[in-house]
Amino acid sequence: MFSTQAQVLYDFTAEPGNNELSVREGETITITNRNIGGGWLEAKNSRGEVGLVPEDYIEINQAKPFTSGGNAAPLDLSFFDSHMPTPASTAQVDVAQPETPVTPVTPGFSSTSPDETSNGNDPWAVFDSNASGGFSNNWAAQPEGTETGKTSSNAWPSGGQGHPQAYQGPGAEDDEWDEEWDDVKSSGGYAESEAGEGGAINRGGAHGSSMKIALNKFPGFSKSGPELYLLSKLPAKGTKLSVYTGEVGPVWAYPDYQLDCVVADPKKGSKMYGLKSYIEYQVIPTTTNKPVIHRYKHFDWLYERLLEKFGSAIPIPSLPDKQVTGRFEEEFIKMRMERLQGWMSRMCRHPVVSSSEVFQLFLSYKDEKDWKMGKRKAEKDETVGVMVFSTIEPEGLPDLDLTEVEQKCEQFNRFTKAMDDGVKDLLTVGNEHWKRCTGPLPKEYQRIGKAFQNLSSVFISSGYEGEAVLTDALTAAGKTYEEIAQMVAEQPKKDLHFLMETNNEYKGLLGCFPDTIGVHKAAIEKVKEADKLVAAGKITPSDKITMSKRASTMSYSLQAEMNHFHSNRIYDYNRVMQQYLEQQVKFYEMIAEKLRHAHGQFTTM
Amino acid sequence: MFSTQAQVLYDFTAEPGNNELSVREGETITITNRNIGGGWLEAKNSRGEVGLVPEDYIEINQAKPFTSGGNAAPLDLSFFDSHMPTPASTAQVDVAQPETPVTPVTPGFSSTSPDETSNGNDPWAVFDSNASGGFSNNWAAQPEGTETGKTSSNAWPSGGQGHPQAYQGPGAEDDEWDEEWDDVKSSGGYAESEAGEGGAINRGGAHGSSMKIALNKFPGFSKSGPELYLLSKLPAKGTKLSVYTGEVGPVWAYPDYQLDCVVADPKKGSKMYGLKSYIEYQVIPTTTNKPVIHRYKHFDWLYERLLEKFGSAIPIPSLPDKQVTGRFEEEFIKMRMERLQGWMSRMCRHPVVSSSEVFQLFLSYKDEKDWKMGKRKAEKDETVGVMVFSTIEPEGLPDLDLTEVEQKCEQFNRFTKAMDDGVKDLLTVGNEHWKRCTGPLPKEYQRIGKAFQNLSSVFISSGYEGEAVLTDALTAAGKTYEEIAQMVAEQPKKDLHFLMETNNEYKGLLGCFPDTIGVHKAAIEKVKEADKLVAAGKITPSDKITMSKRASTMSYSLQAEMNHFHSNRIYDYNRVMQQYLEQQVKFYEMIAEKLRHAHGQFTTM
């Protein structure tokens, strides 16, 4: 059933010594082993070289016969029977998953992101074209056993190398902090240590990028996942997640007390007789005020759990880049901590996420045993992926018809796409401004300052009497411009930094929406096909009603999430713009004040 | 006596249709006609092509045998007898001079100034090396009949293309205002119209450059001129110019009332049935308040007269560029007027210049007849060149010995050179700053403004209620940054402009000093040779005493001039720095105020 031929979608350069195989976009390779795991496949190129390639970088050729069938192709629902795993079977399918889950390596996170240059991979375009088209063959043409995650990888927005590089300078490179992941090596097999090392494919830029929704747990169901929930006969498991009618429409149930936490006090730890070092952070929840200790890999574990559990309904932004590097250790640690803080605060602010068992465990485990047990339990959670919708209950809200559901979905898609563009634009401009403010502009003010002081020195040498007032004033003016140069260079850290960080966070959040909305889109398409499925005897009329009802629930969930997003967005942008403008005002006032002082030193004639 | 071989010093590109010959630096050409006049020679190149070349661009080869004689060469004073013209003979030598004098075309004023790239032509270096050397052969090795003005042209500092180009944009080119010179065409022969048209060699950059001292009136006496005065037996002619002891040392006699004038009301005139057009300016002296009308060519005539008469003693800055062109007629006229005003004010401020007959004529001629008669008289003035020193009388000041004279001269040379460097440095920096402030910087602020407004538009499209305050504030912030962009782009005209103009004026003034100081240097060297000349029986012991006394007079003149320069410099820089800083303060305050307003529009949460 599986062809061994595959097409390379993006360039991939092998890391020496890792059994990897360099491949070029457009190259045809032969898959020699699919059972590597951890997002890797073994492949052979035309020169007979064999090595590992990331599965998201390639497209298995067999998919073609199906997609080329188009609208006229007969419905092939065979996968419906053969590939619909029950939640119980999910765990079995997942055997290849290592104990400590590893973020799948993904295209678009390297510094030359293919997604950024190729319009064909625009994650938003997929939905836009669906929106304008009529009959969709998403359902019918779903290829069997497409395990490569190609469709899913299409939905991944570009990682982009934005803000961080701008003020961290060009010196970014792998550093010893990658060794935080070394303990993963000792705990598992080959695949884990490869991905775990993070050396093969740079994860840099993951902050401010998309999530990978947890659907990859179910092979063959990347975007066709929703039917798992839409037609599920199983009773809902796990905590109920209510959606209420608020002033602005459907809203999540918000807790009375807003959780928050502080990430602080980074400490360097080491193991293996000091050969391996890592950083430990204190995480102090405002509820208990009792600090817990976490390493970056624990945050990453939490991210994986949240993504798996909530990713279909809630955009879970990526963690800050694992490989964001500063020129100095301190700078790096500070930056990562600041961003972990931002990520944690955002998670704390989310009523669904913050009240989840796994998040509570992370924030307030009692001891090592408690943590380990909680971890195991969380990893065995079956209400993940689209099944999270089974726990959502719209309270006193009428069922929505499909047109309404679709309209809402389209509206959110349009908005998040537009905001994604706007945010990226601001980041680009901000990045350029950052460079100018820290580069050529202060240099110029410094040169002006030097030119004034130089002229003053010449004047002093004149031997002409009575020009001390002028020369002193001219020297002072020169020094003032040197001070201004310094101020200009340091200002971005005081204002632009926060504007950039906030927009970077939003870029990350917005990058999750194509996946989240994609799940809804897929569900809508499936409900649209319900009549045909009933006619073909594949589902019962009762199933059709259930599907429609469940699509309505999904829509309420999405609306609640969008309203949560909007409310946070208004708060965040209000706050960051105020902060930015306040600092800008101070900056210009201080310059004016300095120049006024310099002006006062000249004689009034 | 004249060799016909010449060496080309600078590249010269012929203007088509003007009988000119293109030549390249280093090329050897044959002079075929020296009697062209107007700064031109006829020459033939190795390919047999014949055409006109500017005489300042070439070096006649015959000079070499003399200079190669060095210190050991026997004194050749033959030129002393054969080439020492009496002031009376000067007028005869000058027959080739057209009625309306034409500024000699000069190297270093084209946009690719050879002086700027060649250190060998550094006008200051000549004196620096003399200062450190002992016995100088300036006197002995003076080549006979060096009419090419090579030595003199060495003393010409680079014209440089500074400030004007920066804010007039790249569109500068010949324009119709060149036609102001067309009437010259009708009044004379070939040479005049060539130079008069200004087409062959771009005079652009003349403003802010050096003067050409009037020594070229006396062939063979470029820097050997001083002996004309040092050994003159003629009684002094013309108004006495007194030097007194002031608080700061020797000073000119300053008038009780400081003359000034206003250059205003430019009007376009035309002739030849409207085919030729020109601009007429009103010049209104503060003494009479009675306006007189002058065209640019009249200013140029005045400049020529002042240069000829005072250039050996007083730096006479060049007029503003004839070919400074703006993108728009109005801009051009405004700029030229502003600079003519600056030039006239500087001349008015000079006690010697402003009280001279020719300057008074220019400012307050009664009628056309008065003007024409005065012109003719001024052109026949014999007390020009170094002979101006014969009218200078140090009042109650003791004769200076040669050591003192030399020390002063060196000091002034060092200072003016250092200031020249300082001013040029400031101009370079200012020019770059101008470009940044009018180019990339406002563009960036505009993009920031657009990005904010764009994000605001996206937010408006959210459909979420109650975010009007945020979107309004965000739009306002965006507009504020667009306004700031505008302010940034317009600011240089309000502050940097005047700083640049003043420094440009000083660059012009300072560029005259190598010539002025050169005359003094040459005089000092000649006085040093006096003993040998006495021994050789070339001059009498009494002549020697006269020479020394006259060198002292020259030194007092130079000191008075330097003190005048210093006093003006202190005034000018004090004023311009105050103006600059005042405008800068206003600028930053206004930005702060605008941003404060923008900040206030966000909600305080």
**Which pLDDT score is estimated for A284?**
97
Q: A5 in helix, strand or coil?
A: strand
Q: How far is B470 from chain A (nearest CA, A)?
A: 6
* Residue B50: band (very low, low, confident or very high) from pLDDT cuts 50, 70, 90: confident
The pLDDT, as a whole number, for residue B225 is: 75
Q: How far is B482 from chain A (nearest CA, A)?
A: 14
The residues with which A279 forms a beta bridge, in sequence order, are: A268
Q: Do B589 and A588 touch (CB under 8 A)?
A: yes
pLDDT averaged over chain A? 76
Nearest one of B64, B298, B287 to B180, comparing CA atoms: B298
User: For residue A364, is pLDDT > 80?
Assistant: yes
Quick: pLDDT tens for B542-559. 999 999 999 999 999 999
- Residue of higher predicted confidence among B434 and B58: B434
Cβ separation of B605 and A459 shorter than 8 Å?
Answer: no
Give residue B78's pLDDT.
Answer: 36
Cβ pair A429:B448 closer than 8 A = yes
A379-394 pLDDT tens trace: 999 899 999 999 999 9
Judged by average pLDDT, the poorest of A483-492, A584-593, B143-152 is B143-152
Q: What is the mean pLDDT of residues A126-148?
A: 37
Instruction: Determine the pLDDT at residue A4.
Output: 78
Instruction: Give residue A17's pLDDT.
Output: 55
Q: How far B292 CA sits from the closest chain A CA (Å)?
A: 31
Distance between CA atoms of B523 and B553, rounded to whole angstroms? 11
Contact B102, B38 (CB under 8 A): yes
Q: Would you call A589 and B589 a contact, using CB atoms and an 8 Å cutoff?
A: yes
Structure tokens at B100: 């309306």
Secondary-structure percent of chain A, ordered helix, strand, coil, rounded to 5? 55, 10, 35
| Chain A CB contacts of B581 below 8 Å | 477, 595-596, 598-599, 602
In total, the C-beta contacts within 8 angstroms joining chain A to chain B are 181
**DSSP at B146:** -
pLDDT (tens digit per residue) in B296-328: 999 999 999 999 999 999 999 999 876 545 445
Most confident of A137-141, A289-293, B158-162, B175-179: A289-293
The residues facing B280 across adjacent strands are B267, B295
Across the interface, of B567, B585, B595, the residue whose CB is closest to A581 is B595
Closest chain A residue to B467 measured between Cα atoms? Answer: A570
Q: Is A605 in Cβ contact with B571 (below 8 Å)?
A: yes
**Tokens 């204002």 correspond to what residue?**
A495
| Confidence band, pLDDT 50/70/90 cuts, at residue A88 | very low
What pTM does this model have?
0.70
Question: Which of B488, B585, B594 has the highest number of chain A CBs within 10 A, making it the mutation to test binding with A?
Answer: B585
The verdict on whether residue A336 carries a ligand-binding annotation is: yes
Are A124 and A510 within 8 A, CB to CB? no
% chain A with pLDDT above 90 = 51
Locate all alpha helices (DSSP H) within A31-104, ordered by sequence: 64-67, 78-82, 87-93
pLDDT bucket at B37, cuts 50 / 70 / 90? low
Q: What does residue B140 show for φ and ψ, rounded to 5 degrees?
A: -60, -45
Q: How confident is residue B93, by pLDDT bands cut at 50, 70 and 90?
A: very low
pLDDT score, position B15: 64
Band the pLDDT of A149: cuts 50, 70, 90: very low
Confirm if B239 and B255 have CB atoms less than 8 A apart. Answer: no
Percent of chain B residues past pLDDT 70, beyond the cut: 69
- Euclidean distance between CA atoms A202 and A197, whole angstroms: 10
Identity of the residue numbered B478: G
Q: Tens digit of pLDDT for each residue in B348-357? A: 999 999 999 9
Of A461, A582, A595, the CB nearest to B599: A582
For B345-387, write each residue's pLDDT tens digit: 999 999 999 999 999 999 999 999 999 999 999 999 988 899 9
Kindly list the residues from chain B whose CB atom is less than 8 angstroms away from the CB atom of residue A432: 444, 447
Smallest Cα–Cα separation from A350: which of A302, A315, A304, A303?
Answer: A315
DSSP, collapsed to helix, strand or coil, labels residue A538 as coil
Q: Which of A432, A584, A595 sits opposite B581 (nearest CB)?
A: A595
Minimum mean pLDDT range among B133-147, B388-402, B414-428: B133-147
Residues of B in contact with A595 (CB under 8 A): 581, 584-585, 588
pLDDT of A212 strictly over 60: no
State residue B231's pLDDT score.
86
Chain B environment of A470 (Cβ under 8 Å): 570, 573-574
Please report residues of A whose CB lies closer than 8 A to that of B589.
Answer: 588-589, 592
**Residue B247's closest chain A neighbor by CA?**
A465
Give the single-character DSSP code of B392: E
Q: Find the CB nearest B451 among A429, A582, A598.
A: A429
* A295 is an annotated ligand-binding site residue: yes
Residue B423: beta bridge partners? none
Beta carbons of B570 and A463 less than 8 Å apart: no
- CA–CA gap between residue B298 and residue A436 (Å, rounded): 48
| Dihedral sign computed on CA atoms, order B382, B384, B385, B391 | positive
User: Which chain A residues are closer than 8 Å to B248 by Cβ?
Assistant: 464-466
Contact: B578, A451; criterion CB under 8 Å: no
Between A58 and B456, residue with greater pLDDT:
B456
Q: What is the pLDDT of residue A501?
A: 95
Residues of B in contact with A422 (CB under 8 A): 451, 454-455, 457-458
Which residues of chain A form CATH 2.30.30.40?
5-60
Is B575 close to A605, i.e. CB distance below 8 A?
yes
Residue A301 is encoded by which pair of tokens?
């574990």
Residue-level pLDDT at B62: 55
- Integer Cα distance of A251 and A246 in angstroms: 6
Partners of residue A426 in chain B, C-beta under 8 Å: 451-452, 454-455
The mean per-residue pLDDT over the stretch B528-535 comes to 92
Residue A185 among known ligand-binding residues:
no
Residue A26's pLDDT is what? 84
Answer yes or no: do A605 and B426 touch at CB < 8 A. no
Task: Tell me phi and psi for residue A31, to 5 degrees.
Answer: -75, 125
- Asked if the Cβ–Cβ distance from A588 to B588 is below 8 Å, we say yes
pLDDT tens digits, A240-288: 999 999 989 999 999 998 899 999 999 888 776 776 778 899 999 998 8
- For residue B343, pLDDT over 50 is answered with yes
CATH code reported for the domain at B5-60? 2.30.30.40
In chain A the first and final C-alpha atoms are separated, in Å, by: 94
3-class secondary structure, B262: strand
CB contact under 8 A, A585 and B569: no
Contacts of residue B19, defined as CB under 8 A and 6 or more positions apart, other chains included, come to B51, B52, B190
Given a cut of 90, whether residue B260 has pLDDT beyond it is: yes
SS3 call for A38:
coil
Q: How many CB atoms lie within 10 A of CB B315?
A: 25
Chain B residues in contact with A419 (beta carbon < 8 A): 455, 458-459
The pLDDT value given to residue A205: 34
Please write the tens of the pLDDT for every residue from A462-506.
Answer: 989 889 999 999 999 999 999 999 999 999 999 999 999 999 999
